[in-house]
Chain A
Amino acid sequence: MPVSGVSYIPILIFLVIACLFPVVSLLLARAVRPSSYNRVKMEPYECGVESEGEPRQRYSIHYYVIAVLFVVFDVETVFLFPWAVKYRALGLFGFVEMLIFLAILVVGYLYAWKKGALEWV
């Protein structure tokens, strides 16, 4: 099992190449594609009807609630990863401790459920 930072060098190289790939292909397309300006063509698409009002309006609070819940749950997941890898070494102690940890999570989850935060309509 490699532990030094050397094993990350290929990932870094991959990241650099993956960054170059879309940039190069966009530049290539820019060189060969046609381009003509037309005011009507550059309007936002609304099924052919002239656009009315601003698109960036106020939107449902549910999106915000979901985002907050996600932060809570996803951070919990990150805590579980190292625990899962070392699970066999931790044994019964680790199991009970994680049950307590999950119980706290589930209480919050049930609260959100009962409050109707997960209900969409």
Chain B
Amino acid sequence: MISDNIIRNFIIPLTQVLVILGVASGAVAYMTLVERKILAFMQLRLSPRRVGPHGLLQPIADGIKLLLKEDITPDKADRILFTLAPIVTVIPAFTALAVIPFSGGGTFQIFGYQVTPWIADVNVGLVFLLAISSLGIYGIMLGGWASNSKYPMLGALRSAAQMVSYEVPFGFSIIGVMMLSGTASMVGIVEAQREAHVWYFLPQIFGLFVFFVSGVAETNRLPFDLPEAEAELVAGFHTEYTGMKFALYMLAEYTSMIVVASIVTTLFFGGWLRPFPNVEALGFLNLGLDRIHPVLPGYFWFLLKTFLVLFVYLWLRGTFPRYRYDQLMRLGWYWMIPLSIMNVIVTGGVVLLLRR
């Protein structure tokens, strides 16, 4: 007989983790299709439509293709590091999902056990997220170095400098949110937004701007995808990667995108809260989901907001040309960092003046 303690502290989290990982991998697979669809609509091109109705089976075909592709390790490459690098990139990208509150306002009752809609609510959730998300750079640097080839080497150097530069405003911009909410727990921040009667994107509009731009740069997405600028560096740090290892790099990139979008949703757009959560009369916005279970509308709103943030990601890709490298560094050091420091000071002053 399994003891109560083991079920509560091991079996339930394990199940949650497997469910979240499954959903995340599925979301990443379909994210690639959504990206190609949206870009095609924006640029008047054709999107995938051959595999399945409207190309809906395309991600599965892509997955099978990547699995069956030959995996080349160049003779000159450092074999151990070359294999280790994509693994090291994927691990932090996934682990960041552990502290994201997908929904809230209640718990599930499954076989008499309380199951929270998030995996873990630690009181340093935000610091944990920052720490774990900045580990992803190791995989990229290792991959570029281990390939022992010129393009990956240059790509790795660039990405190291770029991610390190944008790490600073990335961290600075969320300090304002912590000052307003008085907590670093992700669940606590959403609850604070409910109590403050305002989502933090209004008082923290500069924080949101800096955070999102730095987030795009951190995840190496257009218009900041200098590490893999195909016009100059072929494919940057993953030029030598093929097959499943390449797939792991892609998986990490898209998972980080989803993580950044989830953080933006949680910190600035009220996480699982519906618009105007304190106005009873707007309860119909929940589409009756709260009558089935009080946690369900939270999932709906969280996914909707995260998808809208991801759409902005793709929108940027569809409309902006790529930055030149010196422009990128200039934007980071001359604009983003002073702006985020100013944001901290102004937020501090205003909070002090409005203190009751």
Contacts and interface: CB of A to CB of B under 8 A. Distances in A.
A10 B160 CA distance: 31
Interface of B: 9-10, 13-14, 16-18, 20-21, 66-77, 83, 86-87, 90-91, 94-95, 97-99, 119-123, 126-128, 145, 147-153, 157, 160-161, 164-165, 167-168, 171-172, 175-176, 178-179, 182-185, 188, 234, 239-240, 243-245, 247-248, 325-326, 329-330, 333-334, 337-338, 341, 344-345, 348-349, 351-352, 355
A109 B333 CA distance: 9
B352 A42 contact: no
Nearest to B172: A77
A78 B9 CA distance: 31
B185 A1 contact: yes
Nearest to B239: A45
Interface in A74-107: 74, 77-78, 80-81, 84-88, 91-92, 95, 98-99, 102, 105-106
A81 B127 contact: yes
Contacts of A1: 123, 183, 185, 188
Interface in A22-75: 22-23, 25-26, 28-30, 32-36, 39, 41-47, 51, 55-56, 59, 62-63, 66-67, 69-70, 73-74
* Pairs A-B, 6 closest by C-beta atoms: A44-B149, A120-B326, A29-B244, A10-B13, A84-B178, A18-B94
A11 B168 contact: no
B243 A8 contact: no
Contact of B168 (A62, A73, A84): A73
Given A14-B94, A46-B149, A88-B355, A70 B168 contact: yes
Given A33-B243, A66-B164, A26 B87 contact: yes
B251 to A, nearest CB: 8
7 contacts: A9-B13, A11-B99, A25-B247, A44-B148, A74-B167, A81-B126, A95-B349
Given A51-B149, A85-B184, 17 more contacts: A1-B183, A10-B17, A10-B98, A32-B68, A33-B70, A33-B244, A34-B70, A45-B234, A55-B152, A66-B329, A74-B171, A77-B172, A81-B175, A84-B176, A95-B352, A102-B341, A121-B326
A2 B239 CA distance: 45
Given A2-B121, A56-B148, A118 B329 contact: yes
Given A80-B344, A120-B326, A45 B121 contact: no
A105 B95 CA distance: 32
Main secondary structure of the interface of A (DSSP, over half): helix
Nearest to B92: A18
Interface residues of A, number: 70
Contact of B329 (A2, A80, A120): A120
A99 to B, nearest CB: 7
B18 A70 contact: no
Interface string A1-18: 111001111110111011
A19 B95 CA distance: 9
Contacts of A59: 157
Contact of A22 (B77, B86, B150): B86
Contacts of A80: 172, 175, 344
B120 A7 contact: yes
Contacts of B234: 45, 47
Nearest to B64: A32
Given A10-B120, A14-B98, A14-B119, A19 B150 contact: no
Contacts of B341: 102, 105-106
Nearest to A121: B326
Contacts of B183: 1, 85
B13 A73 contact: no
Contacts of B71: 29-30, 33, 35
Given A23-B87, A85-B183, A43 B74 contact: yes
A70 B164 contact: yes
A110 to B, nearest CB: 10
B8 to A, nearest CB: 9
For B18, B161, B349, the residue with the greatest tally of chain A CB atoms inside 10 Å of its CB is B161
B17 A14 contact: yes
A118 B67 contact: no
A18 B67 contact: no
Nearest to B94: A18
